[in-house]
């Protein structure tokens, strides 16, 4: 059985050669458009059973607000039915919601907290 000698491979004509005969490839840098991550707002919902002082304490503890800001947010929750406590990335927002719900459950309050995407 006779085998043929393989032909010598040829270089594609699209690859430019430098003056000294070395092959080179030039890569073009393209700017990528990176969008910022989707942000979520953490909101507390009003109920008729959770004490206002507990809501203020939770806002101060988990959202790092001073007493005056926490009181203003609590009043917004009480008067409007819902108040935004902060805006975060999805993972941070869900963690904050879980922390608030756990604290409310441990204290025996029906306080509700949700995270909603910002449009």
What string of pLDDT tens digits covers the 119 residues of the chain?
566 776 666 655 555 556 666 677 778 888 888 989 999 999 999 999 999 999 999 999 999 999 999 999 999 999 999 999 999 999 999 999 999 999 999 999 999 999 999 98
Q: Is the dihedral of CA 62, 76, 89, 65 positive or negative?
A: negative
Q: What is the pTM of this model?
A: 0.72
Radius of gyration for the chain, computed over Cα atoms and rounded to the nearest angstrom: 31
Cα–Cα distance for residue pair 113/85, rounded to 1 Å: 10
Buried b or exposed e, range 5-39, using 16+ CB within 10 angstroms:
eeeeeeeeeeeeeeeeeeeeeeeeeeeeeeeeeee
């Amino acid at each position: 059985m006779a085998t043929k000698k393989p032909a010598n491979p040829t270089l594609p004509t699209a690859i430019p050669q430098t003056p000294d005969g070395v092959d080179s490839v030039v890569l073009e840098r393209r700017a990528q458009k990176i969008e910022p991550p989707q942000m979520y707002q953490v909101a507390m919902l009003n109920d008729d059973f959770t004490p206002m002082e507990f809501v203020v304490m939770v806002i101060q503890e988990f959202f790092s607000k001073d007493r005056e800001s926490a009181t203003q947010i609590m009043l917004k929750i009480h008067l409007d039915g819902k108040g935004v406590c902060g805006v975060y990335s999805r993972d941070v927002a869900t963690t904050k919601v879980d922390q608030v719900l756990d604290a409310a459950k441990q204290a025996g309050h029906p306080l509700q907290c949700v995270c909603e995407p910002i449009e």
